[in-house]
């Protein structure tokens, strides 16, 4: 049992800290997704991080990664959060889908841009009629010679407004049962027939979009692996979507907590005994979440994702309730954290709702029968 | 980073589980409160415990992680024998400089000791006044920090059916003990907290396993109740609590072995603050999932809920831990 870094990880962490100390100030300002200028600053940051060798390090070196275990990805996310740097580009799961399933030609063509962050990617999964029941999706790709003709609609596609490429989950095998009829295509977002419409969220965020496909022609060479394995690839991606990224999220929750603690500690924010107790309970929660995420990285592959998502939801939503309660009336009088609170309500919806995650845990982990 | 049990520890867990399950079959809640087996192990059970080396492992340089492996199984099977009490008493005596003969006799089950805790169970007691002998079924003696031995009085009323707390009786002899010093006193607290947390994890895990087993088999409306979403949602949330509690326990146990004493206590308090309410909630939810049968005296569900409450109180419940952590985190204004 050892929660401490191995000497190799400690060296890696120290190297990253040194790099951040030397470069972060140059890149940290003005990043975000709320304006063209902010987006440009964010992409510049992603390229700097990639150039320094801190993006998708768990991928094999031949594709531009460093062939390191997942724990290194977690260290990167943890250190970026610690330094209050903008987050790393969320591309690990897309990179793994392509690196682990695509043919050599496609890999050679798209991985350098993806890993070097010179091209921007989005992931087209959810549809208006296929949310929790993702496998019921109806966006179709009809094979015509050496092309697919794509028709349909995606929603909740983060980064779609500025993405150069989309990793698209769609139905290509009309005669197959629902899970086996799906495939994964790499789609050029500048193709004719694609229309994007921005979705503005309740907190003002403009990260999401709807994407419409109307007779979009995509080379069959852009198929990831074979036709019909789309669901398998999607499930593989989910195991990479959380894990290491969770460590960064824990770090960011830690900053929210630390700011609230500082407000109370200095007396800037008056908190009575019950509220102080709830704040400290949040600190306990975040410590436990950090240990859980660390353990998931090394101790339990597979079942971890849904359990960790449920735990994160529980802990994050309580934290923002406490932050709001500490702020008192000020919370509804122009407090920036109100938007963060609103975003915390999405935690139990995106990436598989709380209800669906519980069902996955009950059926796949606890072995309860399907209804 | 190597977060998990190693091969030896996993093998040890299996051996412990086997004997713990066997010991549990020797005990029954009976048909009602007047029919319950005593919390004191019979001679056969005690000799099996001694032979397994459970009473001596703390004295054999086992790590705290190793001890939690054993204690989790004691909790899982709600073992009615004062093993945790013996471990806590023996470690207190060892750090107080008790002679090797006595420690060997404790490890060999010949001298049965119990830890002297404050009446509110929040820590080891400083003196015999306002103190109790915790987990002392069958024990003969408990020691004050000054070395005074005490006979044990009658069992005090208590919710836990598988462990007994007893009053402290008149003095019985004296040992030459020294003050272990601040560092070791903190280590004792971290150990007590961590073993309580391990017991809680075992109890809550057993409660969930039992409830899930029931939900798979119990049929209503022509289907197993475990196929209903309302039941699945409750069970899934319990598993989240169990998994998070395991991570908290692992960290607490590792910290007790590897970190400076004050950090070890803070880690142990953090873990206990999380696991104590989680364990009680899982045991409560298990009763809900079992339905009426879970409310009967014959069911183990209340035996677990009782034990969870007792271990929650041991070295302080979550409110007690949060009070300590509040001071540490928020300072003066956080008072």
For residues B157 and B194, membership in a common domain is answered with: no
Q: Are residues B153 and B195 in the same domain?
A: no
Q: In this complex, is the C-beta atom of B277 within 8 Å of any C-beta atom belonging to chain A?
A: no
Q: Is the pLDDT of residue A34 over 90?
A: no
CB pairs under 8 A between A and B: 165
CB contact under 8 A, A277 and B334: no
Domain co-membership, B195 together with B326:
yes
User: A215: phi > 0 → left, psi -120 to 50 → alpha, else beta; which?
Assistant: left
Task: Check residue A240 and give its pLDDT.
Answer: 76
Residue B102 sits in a domain of what CATH number?
Answer: 1.10.540.10
Q: Which residues of B touch A359 (CB under 8 A)?
A: 229, 232-233, 236
In angstroms, the CA A124 to CA A320 distance is 30
Which CATH class, in words, describes the domain spanning A121-227? mainly beta
CATH code at position B303? 1.20.140.10
Residue with tokens 């091969």, as numbered in its chain: B7
**Which among B140, B173, B206 is the end of a domain?**
B173
The pLDDT tens digits of the residues spanning A152-196 come to: 999 999 999 999 999 999 999 999 999 999 999 999 999 999 999
Q: What are the chain A neighbours of B330 within 8 Å (beta carbons)?
A: 261, 264-265, 276, 279-280
Same domain (yes/no): B73, B165: yes
Residue B155 is predicted with a pLDDT of 95
- Does the beta-carbon distance from B212 to A368 stay under 8 Å? yes
B335 within domain boundaries: no
The fraction of chain B above a pLDDT of 90, given in percent, is 96
Determine contact: B65 vs chain A, CB below 8 A.
Answer: yes
Give the mean pLDDT of B236-263.
98
Side-chain-facing half-sphere of A336: CA atoms under 13 Å: 2
Q: Which residue of A has its CA nearest to B69?
A: A1
Can you tell me the distance from the alpha carbon of A199 to that of A210, in angstroms, rounded to the nearest whole number? 7
Q: Hey, what are A142's tokens?
A: 């009809």
| Residue B89 within any structural domain of the chain | yes
pLDDT at A98 over 90: yes
Check pLDDT > 70 for residue A282: yes
Give yes or no for residue A301 having a pLDDT over 90.
Answer: no
Beta-carbon contacts of residue A118 (< 8 Å; ≥ 6 apart): A47, A112
B335 band by pLDDT with thresholds 50, 70 and 90: very low
pLDDT (tens digit per residue) in A203-219 = 888 899 999 999 999 99
Put simply, the answer to whether B227 touches A9 (Cβ < 8 Å) is no
Q: Among partner residues B233, B273, B331, which is closest to A284 by beta-carbon distance? A: B273
Residue A190 has which token pair?
Answer: 């500048």
pLDDT above 90 as % of chain A: 85
Residues B96 and B159 in one domain: yes
Same domain (yes/no): B196, B70: no
Tell me the chain A residues in contact with residue B223 when contact means C-beta distances shorter than 8 Å.
369, 371
Query: Is the domain defined by A242-365 classed in CATH 1.20.140.10?
Result: yes
* pLDDT range class, residue B332, cuts 50, 70, 90: low
Residues B223 and B251 in one domain: yes
Q: What is the pLDDT of residues A254-274, one digit of tens each?
A: 999 999 999 999 999 989 999
DSSP sequence for B183-223: HHHHHHHHHHHHHHHHHHHHHHHHHHHHHHHHHHH-EETTE
B335 vs chain A: nearest CA distance in angstroms? 8
Using the Cβ of B12 and the Cβ atoms of chain A, whether some distance falls under 8 Å is answered with no
- B169 and B237 co-located in one domain: no
Number of domains in chain B: 2
A273 is an active site residue: no
Confidence of residue A302 (pLDDT cuts 50, 70, 90): low
From the list A284, A299, A371, the residue facing B270 with the nearest CB is: A284
Range of the domain at B292: 181-330
What is the pLDDT confidence band of residue A300, given thresholds at 50, 70 and 90? low
Structure tokens at B38: 């005593």
pLDDT tens per residue, range B121-160? 999 999 999 999 999 999 999 999 999 999 999 999 999 9
The reply to whether residue B3 touches residue A1, judged by beta carbons under 8 angstroms, is yes
Choose the closest CB to B248 out of A291, A297, A310.
Answer: A291
List the beta bridge partners of residue A208.
A199
* pLDDT for position A304: 77
Catalytic residue among A105, A241, A318, A340: A241
Residues B167 and B231 in one domain: no
Inform me whether the pLDDT recorded for A289 exceeds 60: yes
Among B107, B139, B173, residue at a domain's last position: B173
Which residues in A lie closer than 8 A to residue B255 (C-beta atoms)?
Answer: 3
Q: State which residue of chain A sits closest to B228, comparing Cα positions.
A: A371
B-chain CB neighbours of A285 within 8 Å are: 274
Q: How far does the CA of residue B242 sit from the closest CA of chain A (Å)?
A: 10
Does residue B26 register a pLDDT over 90?
yes
Minimum CA–CA partner of B334 in chain A: A265
Write the residue in B223, B244, B325 that is nearest to A280 by C-beta. B325
Determine the distance in angstroms separating the CA of B306 from the nearest CA of chain A, rounded to an integer: 24
- pLDDT given at position B302: 98
Last residue of a domain, one of B173, B208, B234: B173
B333 pLDDT above the threshold of 50: no
CA separation for the pair A121, A117 (Å, rounded): 9
Same domain, B23 and B166: yes
Q: Which residue of B has its CA nearest to A366?
A: B212
Q: What sign has the CA pseudo-torsion B308, B310, B316, B319?
A: positive
- Quick one: B16 and B138 in the same domain? yes
Residues of A in contact with B253 (CB under 8 A): 1
Query: Using the beta-carbon criterion (under 8 Å), do A280 and B329 form an inter-chain contact?
Result: yes
pLDDT digits (tens, 9 = 90+) for A223-246: 999 999 999 999 988 877 777 778
Strand A165-171 relative to strand A121-124: parallel, antiparallel, unpaired?
parallel
Q: Are residues B96 and B213 in the same domain?
A: no
- Cβ of A280 and B4 within 8 Å? no
Residue B2 lies in a domain: no
B11 touches chain A (CB under 8 A): no
Q: H helices of chain B, where?
A: 7-25, 43-51, 64-76, 83-95, 100-107, 181-217, 229-258, 261-290, 301-313, 318-330
Q: Which two tokens stand for residue A102?
A: 């695509």
* pLDDT classification of A299: cutoffs 50, 70, 90: confident
Contact A297 B1 (CB under 8 A): yes
B 148-187: CB under 8 A from A: none
Q: How does pLDDT run across B205-215, given as a tens digit for each residue?
A: 999 999 999 99
B2 contacts A280? CB cut-off 8 A: no
Q: With an 8 Å Cβ cutoff, is B36 touching chain A?
A: no
Residue B22, C-beta contacts closer than 8 angstroms, at least 6 positions apart? B48
């Amino acid at each position: 049992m050892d929660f401490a870094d191995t000497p190799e990880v400690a060296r890696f962490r120290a190297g990253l800290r040194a790099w951040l100390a030397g470069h972060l100030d140059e890149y940290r300002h003005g990043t975000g997704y709320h304006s063209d200028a902010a987006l440009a600053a964010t992409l510049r940051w992603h390229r700097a991080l990639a150039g320094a060798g801190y993006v998708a390090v768990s991928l094999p070196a031949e594709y531009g990664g460093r062939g390191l275990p997942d724990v290194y990805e977690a260290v990167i996310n943890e250190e970026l959060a610690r330094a209050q740097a903008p987050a790393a580009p969320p591309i690990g799961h897309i990179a793994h889908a392509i690196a682990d399933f695509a043919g050599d030609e496609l890999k050679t063509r798209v991985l350098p841009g993806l890993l070097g962050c010179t091209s921007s990617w989005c992931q087209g999964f959810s549809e208006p009629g296929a949310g929790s029941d993702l496998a019921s999706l109806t966006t179709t790709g009809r094979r015509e010679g050496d092309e697919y003709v794509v028709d349909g609609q995606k929603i909740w596609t983060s980064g779609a407004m500025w993405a150069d490429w989309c990793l698209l989950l769609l139905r290509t095998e009309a005669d197959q049962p629902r899970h086996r009829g799906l495939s994964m295509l790499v789609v050029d977002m500048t193709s004719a027939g694609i229309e994007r419409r921005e979705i503005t969220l309740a907190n003002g965020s403009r990260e999401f979009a709807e994407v419409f496909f109307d007779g979009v022609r995509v080379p069959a060479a852009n198929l990831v692996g074979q036709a019909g394995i789309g669901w398998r690839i999607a499930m593989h991606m989910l195991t990479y979507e959380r894990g290491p990224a969770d460590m960064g999220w824990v770090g960011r929750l830690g900053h929210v907590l630390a700011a609230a603690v500082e407000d109370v500690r200095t007396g800037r924010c008056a908190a009575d005994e019950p509220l102080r107790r709830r704040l400290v309970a949040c600190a306990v929660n975040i410590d436990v979440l950090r240990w859980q995420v660390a353990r998931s990285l090394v101790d339990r592959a597979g079942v971890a994702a849904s359990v960790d998502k449920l735990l994160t939801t529980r802990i994050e939503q309580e934290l923002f309730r406490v932050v709001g309660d500490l702020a008192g009336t000020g919370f509804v009088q122009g407090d920036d954290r109100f938007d963060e609170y609103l975003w915390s309500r999405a935690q139990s919806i995106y990436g598989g709702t709380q209800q669906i995650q519980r069902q996955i845990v009950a059926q796949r982990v606890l072995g309860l029968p399907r209804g | 980073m190597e977060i998990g049990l190693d091969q030896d520890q996993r093998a040890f867990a299996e051996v412990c589980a086997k004997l713990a399950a066997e010991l549990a079959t020797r005990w029954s809640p009976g048909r009602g409160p007047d029919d319950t087996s005593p919390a004191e192990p019979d001679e056969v059970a005690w000799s099996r415990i001694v032979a397994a080396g459970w009473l001596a492992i703390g004295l054999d340089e086992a790590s705290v992680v190793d001890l939690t492996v054993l204690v989790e199984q004691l909790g899982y099977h709600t073992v009615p024998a004062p093993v945790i009490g013996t471990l806590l008493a023996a470690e207190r005596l060892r750090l107080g400089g008790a002679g090797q003969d006595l420690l060997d006799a404790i490890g060999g089950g010949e001298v049965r000791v119990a830890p002297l805790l404050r009446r509110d169970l929040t820590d080891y007691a400083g003196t015999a006044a306002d103190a109790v002998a915790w987990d002392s079924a069958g024990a003969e003696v408990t020691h004050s920090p000054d070395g005074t031995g005490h006979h044990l009085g009658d069992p005090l009323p208590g919710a836990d059916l598988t462990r007994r707390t007893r009053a402290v009786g008149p003095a019985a002899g004296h040992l030459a003990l020294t003050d272990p010093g601040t560092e070791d006193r903190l280590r004792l607290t971290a150990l007590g907290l961590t073993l309580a947390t391990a017991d809680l994890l075992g109890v809550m895990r057993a409660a969930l396993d039992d409830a899930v087993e029931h939900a798979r088999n119990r049929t209503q409306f022509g289907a197993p109740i475990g196929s209903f979403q309302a039941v699945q949602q409750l069970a899934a949330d319990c598993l989240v609590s169990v998994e998070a509690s395991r991570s908290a326990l692992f960290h607490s146990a590792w910290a007790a072995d590897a970190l400076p004493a004050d950090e070890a206590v803070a880690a142990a308090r953090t873990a206990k603050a999380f696991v104590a309410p989680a364990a009680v909630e899982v045991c409560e939810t298990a009763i809900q999932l079992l339905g009426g049968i879970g409310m009967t005296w014959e069911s183990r569900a209340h035996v677990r809920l009782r034990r969870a409450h007792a271990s929650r109180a041991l070295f302080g419940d979550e409110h007690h831990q949060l009070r300590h952590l509040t001071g540490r985190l928020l300072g003066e204004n956080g008072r």
